[in-house]
Amino acid sequence: MALLEIKDLHVALNDGTEIVRGIDLIVRPGEVHAIMGPNGSGKSTLAYALMGHPSYEISGGDVLLDGESLLPLGADERAQKGLFLAFQYPYAVPGVTVSSFLRSAMNALRKARAGGTDDPIPIPEFRKDLTAAMEHLKVPRELLGRYLNDGFSGGEKKRIEILQMALLRPQIAVLDETDSGLDIDALKTIAGGISDLVGPEMGAIVITHYQRILNYIHPDFVHVFAAGRFVAEGDAELAKKLESEGYDAYLPEGIPGDG
Amino acid sequence: MKRAAALERYRELPLPTTSEESWRFTDLTGFDPDAYELAETARPAEIAPLIELELAGSARIDEGGVEIVKAPEGVVFAPLDEKDERIGALVAAEDKIAAANAAFWRHGLLVEVPAGVELAQPLHVRIESTVANGSLPTRLLVVAGENSRFTLIEEHVSASEDLDALTNCTVEVHVGAGAKLELVSVQRLSRRGWHFAHQRARLERDSELDWVCAGLGSKKSKTWISNDLAGVGATSRVTGVYFADDSQHLDFDTFQEHAAPHTTSDFLFRGVLRDQATTVWRGMIRVEEEARGTDAYQENRNLLFSRQAHANSIPGLEILTNDVRCSHGATVGQVDREQLFYLMSRGLSESEAERLIVSGFFAEALDRIEREPIREALARALEARIPQ
Amino acid sequence: MAKPETDVSQIGREYKYGFHTTDKPTFSTGRGLTREVVETISAQKGEPEWMLERRLQAYEHFLTRPVPTWGGDLSQIDFDSIFYYVKPIENQAGSWEELPPDIKQTWDRLGIPEAEKKYLAGVGAQYESEVVYHKLKEELTNQGVVFLDMDSALREHEEIVREHFGTIIPFRDNKFAALNTAVWSGGSFIYVPPGVRVEMPLQAYFRINAENMGQFERTLIVIDENAFAHYVEGCTAPIYSSDSLHAAVVEIIVKPGGRCRYTTIQNWSTNVYNLVTKRAIAQKNATMEWVDGNLGSKLTMKYPAIWLTGEGAHGEVLSIAFAGPGQHQDTGAKCVHLAPHTTSVITAKSISRGGGRAGYRGLVNVASGARGAKSKVVCDALILDEESRSDTYPTIRVNESDSDVGHEATVSKIGEEQLFYLMSRGLSESEASSMIVSGFVEPITKELPLEYAVEMNRLIQLQMEGSVG
């Protein structure tokens, strides 16, 4: 039973500028936490910092998964422990096909789970899992043979992110602006895919600017994030209120938000 | 290097041959530098200005000496004293051409802008070759003090369109920390003469050099343009345009030396060739081990209007560290016949259509020039090369 | 395949071909090169007089040519300590079993007999100076395909050899072409008759076993009209503390409508100087393709060339170079457009790490009259650490305005964002790096026969291990 605990977390850029200024959050399996906030509030910084991006420094606090601090771990080890980040802007890796990448990533996690000995997924099993997940998420087969995110449309990239999540089966998923750049049909499919994965096996943090995606992924908790802190917390109703009233009420003076 | 030593060096060095890498495509066969005489007196003529500008200072150099036409205030703008210790600091008398200059130069100009001084209007120096069969070796020493800002236009011209002469100019440029220098070098000599120019700039911390280099004249020429990015955060941008026709041979040899971290260089050269013209563009980006965070770019594009024209493009990269972003591109292609046809089908004559294509081809380079009068003057000079 | 003993510490990476055997050659000219050595080689082979004359002319020319000072550092080659001709066995074998056990074991370890069974149309195996094993599938022999070692070809097809030998690469071309012409031994001769397509690759495998060995094979390939063949060569050598020299010459003629693909997987040990001259002529509507993979050697200087002499001819060069510790890969390509509507594409990828130096040196030349010629060159380099170096020296000469020539190059390191993205999916830094590197060279490895692509990726992984962290 996985439990993510974020304790008084502070995150700074390498030049010392503090972007996340003390947040606390507990995510349990089956829970969906929405983190909403205006552009530039530091939401993506939080996502990157949780995953261990080298451009950000943890200037205070801790992040624990099942009681163990993630901070000393590299991104690969965090992934092996069951953390997943769906990137807002996934990177392209020319020359590496989606399918060979997926298999490598699955094998890396299997190896970690097997205590460091190789435990490659049998090809038929891989194919079966892959086909099922792709059908579910309506990922066109031709994407498998293309280079990872290379020349993909925004929607294709997002689908591939969620496909990775479905196959890697994380315990905690952080979804960074997964709704941006999607049309309504794509949004429904992807949000449906995410909702299906949330359960006893997985908790999720959905980072978003708009309430739209929360129509399809029901959040148990909504946290309003502005200027590096949670400034309000509530349930799904709060998200709806934000949608109609904007963020202005939650912004400390002098900090612009574009509502 | 003192004159005597330079002279000795000049005498012992043979004329470069095409077996030397940097001369591979520029053949000096038939060139006898000693056949051109060092003239004492000039035969000045009226030469129409290329660029009409309000100037902060202007000077003329010819065989007879240096004339300061207008002295700017608060700036050293004076004949170069041969005892100046900084002479030769950037361009040593290493090859025959540089040695000839170091041994024989008589007239030069020192431009020294003190720290913090900003000049709103450009400085201008025109080097005029006026004596037939004459040799005119000259030198410029440019020193931009810390945080100074100014523009210097350097122009090479001939007294008549058919003057056969030899010009050899060495330009050394020191760009002090935080300084911003705009340098415009225009070579529009007679198409009968030989021309050589060694031009090298050294950039200190956080300085910026914006260098425009136009090659229009000479029968055969070789111009070296080197930038030493010696201080952290230095940035250089060199924009070259050239047009060669008839049997002209123009050679540009550029060097981007990144010796300090976080330095940026961006060289863009575009050239048009007609008739039996030949051009050589050689570029090298070298990134030293300590130059982490380098961002370097070089590009050379050539547009050919004739089947007899020859363009040689030799870009190069030598990268000794990994934290870099370096790239280059080079193309040689003919004028697009479809494009030409399309324009002509709208009623333009062939030469009008060609002129339009040429102006479009150069626009991307010329657009990098901030001062409109300079940009327009160069655009006009380039377009004028397409016959009516 | 059994894992042979390797001396990893010596080269900083695993090199599984570094073993050697202590078999006794049947004949050797000893160290050093003299006129007598050249005469002895020719006499040993019982060659026609014209070949001996050619050798001696080339030998004289070799003596007068200075060692090149451009490219890599050749000053340490000790021409007097090299063995120029070593004959390992008396007679060429027609089956692997006929070989002496030591030599057979070498080939077994390299997996050549196994590969022959599975996917090759023919195999030649050169050990030191001589081709010790040679075989071509019978159905190809019946179709008139000739695949022989060069010495046998000179005996059995003297007229064809004499017609073409040295016409594409004259011995005056460069110092090492002169050396090869003087002391050549072994190599392949291929003739594919008009219209015949050899679908499975023909493979030659070059093995140096002795210390200070000089290997000078000579290859001549003639692809007749509308014919096709794919020739693959592999090379390995033991690790010694002193240097060996490999100076081959490869001449290829592709006649109208023909196509030749020549694939090299060069994996010499890091004490081998690899100085090879390769040039092909592509006639009307012919296609020549060089796929050139350079992973091994101390210094490689090799620029496969294509002379597009016939209208509509097409040339393609795919080049990968990987320079690890102590290695210098000075590789590249040349395409010379001599006829109208000829096209060429050069794709070069290099990777340097651990202080290695990899470079691209190339030439695209469009001659006057080659109207409508098109050429595209793309060079990309990855530098994996601060100690390593990458050079790009392309030359473009265009003497025909009705043509389009473009060159692009980039040099970069592995992107941190890319690395982070892959690591966020659970891959270790070294796994993620080697995945990026494999992806980087994928446009070229995908052109290799499957077995070689797998091998290439495995070699890259080995090169990458220990390169990060």
pLDDT over 90 (residue A55): no
Q: Lowest-confidence range among B57-61, C171-175, C398-402?
A: C398-402
Q: Is C469 on the interface with A (CB under 8 A)?
A: no
Residues 53..82 of A with a Cβ closer than 8 Å to C: which? 53-55, 74-76, 78-80
Tell me the chain C residues in contact with residue B330 when contact means C-beta distances shorter than 8 Å: 394, 396, 406-407
Cβ <8 Å between C411 and B309: no
**Residue A103 pLDDT more than 80?**
yes
**Single-letter code of the amino acid located at B78:** A
pLDDT 10s digits, C234-260:
988 888 889 999 999 999 999 999 999
**Which residues, 6+ apart, have CB-to-CB distance to C138 below 8 Å?**
none
C425/A79 touch (CB, cutoff 8 Å), yes or no: yes
* Cβ-defined contact of C397 to B310 (cutoff 8 Å): yes
Residue C404 touches chain B, beta carbons under 8 Å: yes
Residue that terminates a domain, selected from C302, C331, C350? C302
Question: What percentage of chain B carries pLDDT values higher than 70?
Answer: 100
The pLDDT value given to residue A258: 39
Residue A2: pLDDT band (50, 70, 90) is: low
Q: What is the mean pLDDT of chain C?
A: 91
- For residue B336, the chain C residue with the least C-alpha distance is C402
What residues make up the domain containing A136?
A: 4-182+194-250
* C389 → closest Cβ in B311, B320, B325: B320
Mapped onto helix, strand or coil, the DSSP state of residue A242 is helix
Q: How confident is the model at residue C465 (pLDDT cuts 50, 70, 90)?
A: low
Tell which wins on pLDDT, A118 or C41.
C41
Tokens of C40: 């002895």
Residue A259 lies in a domain: no
Least confident of A85-94, A193-202, B75-84, B130-139: A85-94
Mean pLDDT estimate for chain B = 94
On whether the CB atoms of residues C261 and C252 are closer than 8 A, the answer is no
Q: Residue A104 and residue C428: Cβ atoms within 8 Å?
A: no
Could you write out the three-class secondary structure of chain B?
A: CCHHHHHHHHHHCCCCCCCCHHHCCCCCCCCCHHHCEECCCCCCCCCCCCCCCCCCEEEEEECCEEEEEECCCCCEEEECCCCCCCCCCCCCCCCHHHHHHHHHCCEEEEEEECCCCECCCCEEEEEEECCCCEEEEEEEEEEECCCCEEEEEEEEEECCCCCCCEEEEEEEEEECCCCEEEEEEEEECCCCCEEEEEEEEEECCCCEEEEEEEECCCCEEEEEEEEEECCCCCEEEEEEEEEECCCCEEEEEEEEEECCCCCEEEEEEEEEECCCCEEEEEEEEEECCCCCCEEEEEEEEEEECCCCCEEEEECCEEECCCCEEEEEEEEEEECCHHHHHHHHCCCCCHHHHHHHHHHHHHHHHHCCCCCHHHHHHHHHHHHCCCCC
Residue of C nearest to B323 (CA): C413
High-pLDDT (> 90) share of chain A, %: 55
Residue A27 DSSP one-character state = E
C282 and C420 together in one domain: no
* Assigned domain for A174 exists: yes
Indicate whether A123 belongs to any domain: yes
ipTM: 0.79
Q: C376: distance to nearest CA of chain B, Å?
A: 9
Lowest-pLDDT choice from A113-122, C188-197, C242-251, C273-282? A113-122
Q: Do C420 and A54 touch (CB under 8 A)?
A: yes
CB nearest B313 (choices: C385, C396, C403): C396
Confidence of residue C303 (pLDDT cuts 50, 70, 90): very high
Of the residues B298, B307, B332, the best mutation for testing chain C's interface (the one with the most C CB atoms within 10 Å of its CB) is: B332
Residue C199 falls inside a structural domain:
yes
In this predicted model, what pLDDT tens digit does every residue of C320-377 receive, in sequence order? 999 999 999 999 999 999 999 999 999 999 999 999 999 999 999 999 999 999 999 9
Contact C394 B323 (CB under 8 A): no
Which of chain C's residues have a Cβ under 8 Å away from the Cβ of A55?
Answer: 416
Confidence of residue C443 (pLDDT cuts 50, 70, 90): confident
* A14 or B8, greater pLDDT: B8
Find the domain containing C438 and state its range. 416-469
Q: How many domains does chain B have?
A: 1
- Mean pLDDT over each residue of chain A, to the nearest integer: 89
Nearest to C402 among B311, B315, B334 (CB): B334
Q: Do A93 and C421 lie within an 8 Å CB cutoff?
A: yes
CATH of the domain at A27: 3.40.50.300
Task: For residues C20 and C143, state if they share a domain.
Answer: yes
Residues of B with a Cβ under 8 Å from any C Cβ are 21, 25, 273, 289, 292, 302, 304-335
Looking at the complex, report in whole angstroms how far the Cα of residue C431 sits from the nearest Cα belonging to chain B: 19
pLDDT in tens, B131-185: 999 999 999 999 999 999 999 999 999 999 999 999 999 999 999 999 999 999 9
Closest chain B CA to residue C400: B307
Could you tell me if C283 and C431 lie in one domain? no
> Taking phi first (over 0 means left), then psi (-120 to 50 degrees means alpha), and beta for anything else, what does residue C241 get?
alpha
| Contact call for A and B: 3+ CB–CB distances under 8 Å | no
Judgement on whether residues C284 and C427 belong to the same structural domain of the protein: no
pLDDT in tens, C15-49: 778 888 887 888 999 999 999 999 999 999 999 99
Cα-atom radius of gyration of chain B, to the nearest Å? Answer: 20
Q: Categorize the per-residue pLDDT at A253 as very low, low, confident or very high, splitting at 50, 70 and 90.
A: low
**Closest-CA residue in chain B for C413?**
B322
**Which of C334, C341, C401, C403 is the best mutation test for B, with the most CBs of B within 10 A?**
C401
For chain B, percent of residues with pLDDT exceeding 90: 82
| Stretch C370-395: mean pLDDT | 93
Q: Do C393 and B316 touch (CB under 8 A)?
A: yes
pLDDT surpasses 90 at B336:
no
Cβ of B329 within 8 Å of Cβ of C406? The answer is: yes
Contact C427 A105 (CB under 8 A): yes
Q: Do C427 and A76 touch (CB under 8 A)?
A: yes
If asked whether residues C52 and C193 sit together in one domain, one would say yes
Chain B residues with beta carbon closer than 8 angstroms to that of C381: 317, 319
Give residue C13's pLDDT band: very low, low, confident or very high (50, 70, 90): low
Range C448-462 average pLDDT:
75
Question: What pLDDT was estimated at residue C7?
Answer: 31
Same domain, C288 and C423: no
Say if C85 falls within a structural domain.
yes
Question: How high is the pLDDT of residue C468?
Answer: 46
Which candidate from B289, B317, B323 shows the least CB-CB separation from C390?
A: B317
Question: Which subunits have 3 or more CB–CB pairs within 8 Å of chain A?
Answer: C
Let me know if residue C323 belongs to a domain: no
In this complex, the chains that touch C, judged by 3 or more CB pairs closer than 8 A, are: A, B
Domain end call among C269, C302, C335: C302
Closest chain C residue to B277, measured at CA: C399
Domain assignment of residue A89, yes or no: yes
Closest residue in C to A54 (Cα–Cα): C420
Report the residue of chain C nearest B314, measured CA to CA. Answer: C395
Q: Are the Cβ atoms of C440 and A80 closer than 8 angstroms?
A: no
Model confidence band, residue C466 (pLDDT cutoffs 50, 70, 90) = low
Of the three residues C302, C318, C337, the one that is the final residue of a domain is C302
Q: Is C376 on the interface with B (CB under 8 A)?
A: no
Per-residue exposure over B172-188, b if at least 16 CB sit within 10 Å of its own CB, e if not: bbbbbbbbbbbbbbbbb
- Position C373 scores a pLDDT of 96
Domain that holds residue B127: 3-335
Percent of all residues in chain C with a pLDDT value above 70, rounded to a whole number: 95
Chain B interface disruption, residue of C382, C396, C404, most B CBs within 10 A: C396
pLDDT range class, residue C184, cuts 50, 70, 90: very high
Q: Is residue A258 part of a domain?
A: no
Verify whether the Cβ–Cβ distance A95 to C438 is below 8 Å. Answer: yes
Q: Which residue of C has its CA nearest to B290?
A: C386
CB C178 within 8 A of CB C219: no
pLDDT of residue C1: 31
Predicted confidence (pLDDT) per residue in A17-38, tens digit: 999 999 999 999 999 999 999 8
B97-103 average pLDDT score: 96
The 10s digit of each residue's pLDDT in C83-111 is 999 999 988 998 999 998 888 888 888 88
Using a CB-CB cut-off of 8 Å, the residues of chain A touching C435 are 93, 96, 101, 104
Q: Is A96 on the interface with C (CB under 8 A)?
A: yes
Domains in chain A, number = 1
User: Which of C366, C383, C397 lies closest to B319 in CB terms?
Assistant: C383
- pLDDT number for residue C109: 85
B225 pLDDT higher than 80: yes
Residue B364 inside a domain? The answer is no
pLDDT value, residue C4? 32
Q: What is the pLDDT of residue C10?
A: 32
Region B228-255: what's the mean pLDDT? 97
A-C contacts at Cβ under 8 angstroms: 80
CB contact under 8 A, A54 and C439: no
Q: Does C416 touch chain A (CB under 8 A)?
A: yes
Q: Give yes or no for residue C12 having a pLDDT over 50.
A: no
Query: CA triplet A160, A161, A165: central angle to 5 degrees?
Result: 110
Q: Which of residues 431-460 of C touch A (CB under 8 A)?
A: 431-432, 435-436, 438-443
CB-based contact B315 C401, cutoff 8 Å: no
On whether residue B356 sits in a domain, the answer given is: no
Q: Does the residue B228 lie in any domain?
A: yes
- Decide if C358 is inside a domain: no
* Structure confidence at residue C453 as a pLDDT band (50, 70, 90): confident
Residue C44: C-alpha distances to residues A151, B176, C26, C28, C86 (Å): 61, 72, 12, 10, 11
